[in-house]
């Protein structure tokens, strides 16, 4: 079984995980780990936010376009994760969106 591509993922080294109890079959342990919803096991950030749904769920359920989705992601997490760097990313995405919209309207 291949490792998860995200190095910080709690199951990134799942091949080396051992069942919590010797009587638990390793195959069922792997199955349990991969049965978790992707939003729960998203790169090790279980419970990434204190909100009812993850930003990706909100973005997906509301069909928000890519750039606007990035803005949503960074504005929600900036205080808890990226700080001022995330605010800079938000500004970048807003500038990018303005450039693209202006180019489409000319």
- Summarised one tens digit per residue, pLDDT across range 56-79 is 999 999 999 999 999 999 999 999
Please give the structure tokens belonging to residue 88: 């800079």
- Summarised one tens digit per residue, pLDDT across range 11-64 is 444 445 555 555 555 455 555 555 556 655 554 454 455 778 889 999 999 999
Question: What pLDDT sits at residue 40?
Answer: 58
Please give the structure tokens belonging to residue 66: 């890519």
Q: Is the pTM of this model over 0.85?
A: no
The span from the CA of 17 to the CA of 30, in Å, is 8
The span from the CA of 70 to the CA of 67, in Å, is 5
The span from the CA of 59 to the CA of 27, in Å, is 34
């Amino acid at each position: 079984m291949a490792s998860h591509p995200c190095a910080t993922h709690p199951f990134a080294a799942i091949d080396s995980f051992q069942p919590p109890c010797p009587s638990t079959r390793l195959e069922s342990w792997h199955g349990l780990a991969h049965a978790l919803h992707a939003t729960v096991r998203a790169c090790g950030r279980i419970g990434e936010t204190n909100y009812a749904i993850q930003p990706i769920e909100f973005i997906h359920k509301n069909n928000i376009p890519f750039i606007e989705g990035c803005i949503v992601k960074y504005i929600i997490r900036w205080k808890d994760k990226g700080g001022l760097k995330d605010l800079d990313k938000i500004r970048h995405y807003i500038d990018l969106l303005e450039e693209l919209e202006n180019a489409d309207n000319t």
